[in-house]
């Protein structure tokens, strides 16, 4: 249940590896299902390297995308709940706790429609002890069905997904670990059998339900903490003349620390880091652990600070104002190799630039314009008084040269490899003097830019600027 960034790719890989299992992926959003069924595989709703090749093999063989939720539930021996769990915007826990309405409604539907014994697997990232809610809903439906002389029963498992967007297929095919939390051995073994088709047994970790749920939240919190940590060091580098690339290399060479997740950038985005930390903070406050809550909350504050300070640097370097200036934003996705913009630092930054009167031209190789329209509109509704004529001050293009033509500044926000591979001599020639490049991902080759007529600022290295 749920045909999003987790449900779609995960089920595609299970279908690929387990030919004898028939999988129905259902969703309440018909446009999503239609997109998964698109004849043109470039129109799938999720972009992931290799995904379309897998879909081409398994779709309508043993993987089916359908809107027929009720019959899919009735048919199922095992149901994965992969629906979204956004942060609550109102009521108790607003701004911190996850809104579980989709999980709850899924559980209710399963309770009503399921037949025989059904294993229900939490796949969405959920607050700790959500399994209890699901169990309670399902137990009630068992009681009701007994009154009507229908026999049904359920086991609930937690099997969090650790795939990272842009690398989803590889993460699914070669996971570091598979985590299965539960208290029913038969159900755990059933799920384990699926993974054993391609994952070795020693990588399958079995825990109780609560450990599994908490491990998922904590893993994301620790990863996000690493990004905030390296971003905090990037500011110190800019002030002192140290270079974040050199510092990251030196730090990461310690085997205990390792090289991954030490790239300074414009702040973490994506659907889960912020949400999961907020959930953790909520949980800690609920149990009266204010010190622990404040500790984790600081990771988010640091992330917001990184975005604010980048905007300030841009304004400072552009003589204190961007009003009437042409700014090219390269990259709107929250990271490379995905068309996802959820919590992308680009949203905030673009809106701030628009608020300051800039004329913004956006390029991204994968994000759809309609997504950007939605993202900028949502923000303007929440944060801006004057949202009139917003469209006239920004534009979107798939042609990177069109985006940068006549611009005063380029801001690289997503680390798409194609930006590093551009002919920067030609790019700079298209700009308007004085020309400035802000490389918030540190992906350009400084040597190539050295002799060009352009000011180059990159994250975590104050000395590279000529301004």
Residue 135 bears catalytic tag? no
CA-to-CA distance for 276 and 86, rounded, in angstroms? 10
Instruction: Extract the tokens encoding 338.
Output: 């995905």
Answer yes or no: are the C-beta atoms of 407 and 328 closer than 8 Å.
yes
Answer yes or no: are the C-beta atoms of 123 and 84 closer than 8 Å.
no
Between 7 and 265, CB nearer to ligand UGA: 265
Q: Which residue blocks in 149-264 are alpha helix, DSSP H?
A: 168-173, 185-196, 209-240, 244-252
Instruction: Extract the tokens encoding 107.
Output: 């559980």
Closest residue to ligand UGA, based on beta-carbon distance: 270
Residue of 17, 216, 245, 352 marked active site = 216
Between 162 and 401, CB nearer to ligand UGA: 162
- Which residue bears the tokens 């300074």? 264
The sheet with strand 204-207 has its strands ordered as: 78-81, 116-122, 152-158, 178-181, 204-207
Between 98 and 326, CB nearer to ligand UGA: 98
**How near is the Cβ of 279 to ligand UGA at its closest, in Å?**
11
Answer yes or no: are the C-beta atoms of 166 and 144 closer than 8 Å.
no
Q: Which positions lie near ligand UGA, rule CB under 6 A? A: 125, 161-165, 220, 223, 227, 261-263, 265, 268-270, 272-273, 334-335
Between 155 and 303, CB nearer to ligand UGA: 303
Residue 368 bears catalytic tag? no
Instruction: Extract the tokens encoding 209.
Output: 């339900």
**How near is the Cβ of 289 to ligand UGA at its closest, in Å?**
23
Neighbours of 253 (CB within 10 A): 10
- Which residue bears the tokens 């020639």? 429
Q: How far is CA 41 from the centre of its chain?
A: 22
**How near is the Cβ of 255 to ligand UGA at its closest, in Å?**
18
Between 155 and 220, CB nearer to ligand UGA: 220
Between 118 and 442, CB nearer to ligand UGA: 442
Residue of 237, 272, 284, 427 marked active site = 272
Residue 190 bears catalytic tag? no
Residue of 113, 122, 161, 165 marked active site = 161
**How near is the Cβ of 126 to ligand UGA at its closest, in Å?**
11
**How near is the Cβ of 306 to ligand UGA at its closest, in Å?**
9
- Which residue bears the tokens 């020693």? 202
**How near is the Cβ of 413 to ligand UGA at its closest, in Å?**
10
CA-to-CA distance for 352 and 346, rounded, in angstroms? 10
- Active-site residues, by number, are 161, 216, 272
């Amino acid at each position: 249940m749920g045909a999003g960034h987790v449900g779609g790719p995960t089920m595609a890989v299970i279908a690929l590896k387990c030919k004898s299992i028939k999988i129905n992926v259902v969703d309440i959003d018909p446009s999503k299902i239609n997109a998964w069924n698109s004849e043109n595989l470039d129109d799938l709703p999720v972009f992931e390297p290799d995904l379309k090749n897998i879909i081409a093999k398994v779709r309508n063989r043993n993987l089916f995308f359908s809107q027929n939720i009720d019959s899919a539930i009735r048919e199922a021996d095992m149901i994965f709940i992969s629906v979204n769990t956004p942060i609550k915007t109102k009521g108790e826990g607003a701004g911190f706790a996850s809104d579980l309405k989709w999980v709850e409604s899924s559980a209710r539907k399963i309770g009503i429609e399921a037949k025989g014994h059904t294993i229900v697997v939490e796949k969405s990232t959920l607050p700790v002890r959500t399994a209890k809610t699901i169990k309670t809903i399902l137990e009630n439906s068992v009681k009701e069905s007994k009154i009507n002389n229908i026999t049904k029963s359920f086991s609930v498992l937690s099997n969090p997904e650790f795939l990272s967007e842009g690398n989803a297929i590889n993460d699914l095919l070669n996971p570091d670990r598979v985590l299965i939390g539960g208290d029913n051995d038969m159900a755990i073994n059933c799920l384990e059998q699926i993974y054993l088709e391609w994952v070795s047994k020693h990588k399958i970790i079995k825990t109780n339900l609560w450990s599994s749920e908490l491990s998922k939240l904590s893993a994301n919190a620790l990863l996000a903490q690493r990004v905030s940590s390296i971003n905090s060091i990037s500011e110190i580098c800019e002030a002192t003349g140290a270079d974040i690339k050199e510092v990251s290399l030196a730090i990461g060479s310690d085997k205990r620390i390792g090289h991954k997740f030490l790239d300074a950038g414009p702040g973490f985005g994506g659907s889960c880091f912020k949400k999961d930390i907020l959930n953790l903070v909520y949980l800690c406050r609920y149990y009266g652990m204010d010190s622990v809550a404040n500790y984790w909350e600081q990771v988010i504050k640091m992330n917001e600070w990184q975005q604010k300070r980048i905007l300030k640097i841009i304004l400072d370097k552009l003589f204190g104002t961007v009003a009437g200036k042409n700014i090219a934003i390269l990259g709107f996705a929250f990271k490379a190799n995905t068309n996802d913009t959820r919590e992308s630092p680009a949203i905030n930054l673009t809106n701030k630039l628009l608020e300051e009167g800039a004329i913004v031209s956006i390029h991204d190789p994968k994000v759809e314009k309609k997504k950007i329209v939605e993202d900028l509109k949502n923000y303007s509704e929440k944060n801006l008084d004057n949202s009139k004529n917003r469209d006239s001050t920004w534009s979107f293009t798939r042609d990177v040269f069109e985006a940068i033509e006549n611009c005063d500044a380029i801001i690289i926000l997503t680390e798409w490899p194609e930006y590093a591979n551009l002919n920067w001599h030609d790019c700079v020639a298209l700009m308007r003097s004085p020309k400035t490049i802000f490389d918030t991902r540190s992906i350009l080759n400084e040597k190539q830019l050295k002799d060009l007529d352009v000011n180059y600022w990159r994250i975590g290295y104050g000395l590279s600027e000529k301004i």
